[in-house]
Structure 1
Amino acid sequence: EEDIMEGLRESGMEDSACTSGFSVMIKECCDGMGDVSEKHGGGPAVPEKAVRFSFTVMSVSVLADDEEEEVTIFTEPKPNSELSCKPLCLMFVDESDHETLTAVLGPIVAERYAMKESRLILSM
């Protein structure tokens, strides 16, 4: 929120100029984390693999009421940094097991499609 407000100020806009909404570009990522097994007691290692599904807000743009083109008011300076990558789901599954991945990520994908045309109202 602070970055958005700063971007508005740098563009010479007031928050009241943004009645038509924001456009947000998001990068999604699903990474295999490899073997995350632990040794239990004196027995053999229990092989476990994990997958992390995450997203990064890449940019935020706004179309001011009196403008014809959108103005970008936020761009992620480090899009590949773990600090900007927000995990949504961490699961113990082998990334090559597509059937299980599809079952686990299905609700997240459905939520994403529902959000594409939704509106989020923030008080600024």
Structure 2
Amino acid sequence: EEDIMEGLRESGMEDSACTSGFSVMIKECCDGMGDVSEKHGGGPVVPEKAVRFSFTVMSVSVLADDEEEEVTIFTEPKPNSELSCKPLCLMFVDESDHETLTAVLGPIVAERKAMKESRLILSM
């Protein structure tokens, strides 16, 4: 939120100039985390590999009421950094097990589709 407000100020806009909404570009990522098995202990048997599904907010743009083109007010400076990736789901599964991945990630994909057509209202 602070970065967005700073971007508005740097672009010479007030927050009230953004009545037409924001465009947000998001990068999704699903990475295998390799071998995460614990070599000791007597717990339940779980797969020895894990997968992380995450997203990164890459940029935020706004179309001001008096402008014809969108103005980018935020760009992620380190898009590949683990600090900018927000994990949505961590699971013990082999990344080649497509059936399990589909079952686990299905609700996340459905939520993403719903979000594409929705409006998010932020008070600033």
Does TM, normalized by the shorter one, top 0.5? yes
> Are residues 39 and 60 of structure 1, via their aligned partners in 2, closer, same or farther at CA, if it must alter by over 3 Å?
same
Q: Cα RMSD over matched residues?
A: 2.0
> Are residues 99 and 21 of structure 1, via their aligned partners in 2, closer, same or farther at CA, if it must alter by over 3 Å?
same
Structure 2 Cα separation of the partners of residues 51 and 109 of structure 1: 16
Structure 1 Cα separation of the partners of residues 79 and 67 of structure 2: 28
Contact 2:31 2:53 in 1 (8 A): yes
Deviation at 1:46, TM superposition (A): 7.2
Deviations 1:43-74 (A, max 9, x none): 99976110000000000000000100000000
> Are residues 9 and 97 of structure 1, via their aligned partners in 2, closer, same or farther at CA, if it must alter by over 3 Å?
same
Structure 2 Cα separation of the partners of residues 90 and 44 of structure 1: 18
Deviation at 1:40, TM superposition (A): 2.0
Deviations 1:18-50 (A, max 9, x none): 000000000000000011001224999976110
> Are residues 46 and 66 of structure 1, via their aligned partners in 2, closer, same or farther at CA, if it must alter by over 3 Å?
closer
Normalising to structure 1: TM-score of the pair? Answer: 0.95
Structure 2 Cα separation of the partners of residues 98 and 9 of structure 1: 46
Contact 1:55 1:88 in 2 (8 A): yes
Identity %: 98
Structure 2 unaligned segments of length 5 or more: list them.
none
> Are residues 22 and 46 of structure 1, via their aligned partners in 2, closer, same or farther at CA, if it must alter by over 3 Å?
closer
Match of 2:31 in 1: 31
Deviation at 1:88, TM superposition (A): 0.2
Flag as ranges the 4+ runs of structure 1 deviating above 6 A. 42-46
Aligned residue pairs, count: 124
Structure 1 Cα separation of the partners of residues 43 and 121 of structure 2: 54
Normalising to structure 2: TM-score of the pair? Answer: 0.95
Structure 1 unaligned segments of length 5 or more: list them.
none
Deviation at 1:117, TM superposition (A): 1.6
Deviation at 1:113, TM superposition (A): 0.3
